[in-house]
């Protein structure tokens, strides 16, 4: 039997890491990787359900992929990930050509599930309280950055969020598994580790908390940077902040999702902190890690978000001064608590609010980036930009995309770049023109 596998990934880094996990598992089961769906016997789509828009896009893509089954009926078409868990059997009703629907806790049995799916449509959507995949070895894509999931699931139940329902209860990987993965990634030549978890700083295995994990990972040779995403403000202990300051491999950048600047919205979101507490936390982080860059997630148009609530978010973003922000329009997700509440902000108003925040953030990002002009950025080299093979890019310690003229540097080098100019999205080295890098590799505002 032919065993050629193609995996396509949507959504967050956790999904990228899960796809690498599935790839590793199926490598060992005798599958070979192919880069295109039309070369594959098994097509897996690893999906996202965080917003309606993500699901719509994936439905479109699944429609396209079903044509491979028309031409080659032996092809197995499977859907994995959060949308699989969210819709379960309904997904097969909507896309009858699907052979396999497997949720985030079903990957360990993928080889058998795929074999089963060759015979009849197969559903594996039971969530687990214990599965961490900590013992499995992911097949990581080349690059400087290795994703390491250190926990799975979420117990926070923010009212807008579907994650606790599709990824199940929070559980941490055994610390031995995490460190083995870090060492393995270092041995494979990766230079940067990104610890992943829905509330990554809630990590705990016995006595080992997130702070201790950072300290232990900090000692692994070969790794030069340790990042993490996403921490929850309520789980950011003083110990964790001290570890950020003490571990020289943990760069001065924290992605700290705020979601809203209004206390009444935060309360209805059940975020478990007030704006005052968030601001105090930012103060503690800034005192411990001078010059730290902060980025965030914001949702506009949550049910009941008034003009005043929105204004409070605007003010909060301006006051705190994030280096960058991801801003989302609220999207009701069936299953999540807030989906039962009537929407009060129409699409047009959501668009107005998101546009305003993105515009204002662009201004803040530009000012922050311009403040770096004349300084030296320490850049972990990732490779050539898409537009110009003579201009390479990497991330600065503050996680800012930095472009520089290539003079023989190799992927994975940590190099100093004097910042000569800046855009809202990037720092530019001497001789790099903003126009040549209008669209960044990683365009966030
Ligand atoms: N609608 C809009 N944005 C959402 N997010 C999570 N759930 C929703 C939703 N229902 C955003 C949050 C989170 C980020 C990953 O996605 O800002 O931090
Ligand atoms: Fe969703 Fe809240 Fe958990 Fe983040 S902390 S995954 S927003 S429920």
Percent of the chain at pLDDT exceeding 70? 97
Residue 188 sits in the same domain as residue 268: yes
Residue with the bigger pLDDT between 387 and 125: it is 125
413-434 per-residue burial string, b: 16 or more CB within 10 A, e: under 16: ebbebebebbbbbbbbbeebee
* pLDDT value for 440: 43
What band does 357 get if pLDDT is binned at 50, 70 and 90?
A: very high
Give the chain's mean pLDDT: 95
What spacing in Å lies between the alpha carbon of 325 and ligand 1's midpoint? 13
Pairing of strands 401-405, 391-395: antiparallel
Alpha-carbon distance of 285 to 282, in angstroms, equals 5
Residue 393 sits in the same domain as residue 342: no
Domain-embedded: residue 140: no
Which of 13, 14, 51, 197 for a ligand 1 pocket mutation test, highest count of atoms within 8 Å of Cβ? 51
What band does 44 get if pLDDT is binned at 50, 70 and 90?
A: very high
What band does 444 get if pLDDT is binned at 50, 70 and 90?
A: very low
Residue 108 sits in the same domain as residue 155: no
| Mean pLDDT of the region 62-76 | 93
* pLDDT value for 441: 41
Contact yes or no for 330/373 (Cβ under 8 A) = no
Nearest ligand to the CA of 231 is: 2
pLDDT(317) > 90: yes
What lies within 8 Å, CB to CB, of 163 at 6+ separation is 50, 82, 153, 154, 198
Residue 392 sits in the same domain as residue 346: no
Domain-embedded: residue 170: yes
Domain boundary among 368, 396, 424: 368
pLDDT tens, position by position, 182-236 = 999 999 999 999 999 999 999 999 999 999 999 999 999 999 999 999 999 999 9
Q: Where residue 68 sits, what CATH number does that domain have?
A: 3.40.50.12160
pLDDT(434) > 90: no
Ligand 2, atom 5, lies closest to the CA of 156
Domain-embedded: residue 137: no
Alpha-carbon distance of 341 to 266, in angstroms, equals 15
Percent of the chain at pLDDT exceeding 90? 95
Domain count along the chain: 3
Which of 15, 48, 199, 257 for a ligand 2 pocket mutation test, highest count of atoms within 8 Å of Cβ? 199
Residue 165 sits in the same domain as residue 271: yes
Domain-embedded: residue 210: yes
pLDDT(438) > 60: no
Residue 18 sits in the same domain as residue 93: yes
Domain-embedded: residue 310: yes
* pLDDT value for 84: 98
Pocket of ligand 2 (CB under 6 A): 154, 156-158, 161, 163-164, 198-199, 232
Nearest ligand to the CA of 297 is: 1
Across 300-304, 349-353, 364-368, 386-390, least confident range: 386-390
Residue 65 sits in the same domain as residue 150: no
Residue 165 sits in the same domain as residue 283: yes
Alpha-carbon distance of 383 to 406, in angstroms, equals 9
pLDDT(1) > 70: no
343 lines ligand 1 (CB under 6 A): no
Domain interval for residue 388: 376-443
Domain-embedded: residue 129: no
Domain-embedded: residue 71: yes
Domain boundary among 70, 92, 124: 124
pLDDT tens, position by position, 257-283 = 999 999 999 999 999 999 999 999 999
pLDDT tens, position by position, 92-127 = 999 999 999 999 999 999 999 999 999 999 999 999
Which of 154, 196, 233, 339 for a ligand 2 pocket mutation test, highest count of atoms within 8 Å of Cβ? 154
Residue 323 sits in the same domain as residue 403: no
Residue 329 sits in the same domain as residue 243: yes
| Mean pLDDT of the region 41-66 | 96
Residue 70 sits in the same domain as residue 110: yes
| Mean pLDDT of the region 315-324 | 98
Domain-embedded: residue 135: no
* pLDDT value for 437: 54
* pLDDT value for 10: 97
Q: Where residue 250 sits, what CATH number does that domain have?
A: 3.80.30.20
Residue 227 sits in the same domain as residue 345: yes
Nearest ligand to the CA of 159 is: 2
pTM assigned to the model = 0.96
Domain boundary among 124, 154, 174: 124
What band does 436 get if pLDDT is binned at 50, 70 and 90?
A: low
Alpha-carbon distance of 394 to 384, in angstroms, equals 9
* pLDDT value for 252: 98
What is each CA distance from 167 to 174, 203, 209, 232, 256, in whole angstroms?
18, 16, 21, 17, 21
């Amino acid at each position: 039997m032919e065993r050629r596998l193609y995996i396509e990934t949507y959504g967050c880094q956790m999904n990228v890491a899960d796809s690498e996990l599935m790839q590793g598992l199926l490598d060992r089961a005798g599958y070979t990787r192919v880069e295109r769906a039309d070369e594959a016997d098994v097509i897996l789509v690893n999906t996202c359900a965080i917003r309606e828009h993500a699901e719509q896009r994936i439905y479109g893509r699944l429609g396209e992929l079903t044509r491979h089954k028309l031409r080659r009926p032996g092809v197995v078409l499977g859907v994995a990930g959060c949308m699989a868990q969210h819709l379960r059997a309904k997904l097969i009703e909507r896309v009858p050509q699907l052979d396999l629907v497997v949720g985030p806790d079903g990957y360990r049995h993928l080889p058998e599930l795929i074999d089963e799916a060759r015979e009849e449509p197969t559903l594996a959507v039971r969530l687990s309280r214990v599965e961490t995949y900590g013992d499995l070895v992911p097949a990581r894509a080349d690059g400087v950055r290795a994703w390491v999931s250190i926990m799975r699931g979420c117990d926070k139940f923010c009212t807008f969020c579907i994650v606790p329902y599709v990824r199940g209860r929070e559980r941490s990987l055994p610390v031995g598994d995490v460190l083995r993965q870090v060492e393995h990634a270092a041995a494979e030549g990766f230079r940067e580790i990104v610890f992943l978890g829905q509330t990554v700083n809630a990590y705990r295995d016995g006595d080992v908390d997130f702070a201790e994990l950072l300290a232990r990972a900090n000692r692994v040779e070969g790794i030069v940077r340790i990042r993490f995403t996403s921490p929850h403000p309520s789980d950011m202990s003083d110990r964790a902040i001290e570890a950020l300051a003490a571990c020289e491999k943990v760069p001065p950048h924290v992605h700290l999702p705020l979601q809203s600047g209004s206390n009444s919205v935060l309360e209805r979101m059940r975020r478990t902190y007030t704006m005052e507490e968030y601001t105090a936390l930012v103060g503690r982080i800034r005192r411990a890690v001078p010059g730290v860059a902060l980025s965030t997630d914001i949702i506009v148009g949550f049910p009941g978000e008034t003009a005043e609530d929105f204004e409070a978010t605007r003010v909060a973003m301006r006051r705190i001064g994030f280096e960058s922000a991801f801003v989302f329009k609220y999207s009701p997700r069936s299953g999540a608590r807030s989906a039962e509440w009537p929407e009060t902000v129409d699409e047009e108003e959501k668009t107005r609010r998101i546009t305003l925040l993105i515009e204002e953030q662009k201004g803040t990002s530009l000012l922050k980036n311009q403040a770096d002009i004349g300084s030296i950025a320490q850049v972990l080299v990732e490779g050539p930009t898409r537009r110009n093979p003579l201009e390479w890019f990497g991330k600065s310690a503050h996680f800012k995309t930095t472009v520089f003229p290539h003079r023989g540097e190799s992927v994975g080098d940590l190099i100093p770049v004097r910042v000569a100019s800046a855009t809202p999205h990037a720092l530019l080295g001497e001789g790099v023109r903003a126009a040549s890098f209008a669209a960044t590799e990683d365009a966030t505002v």
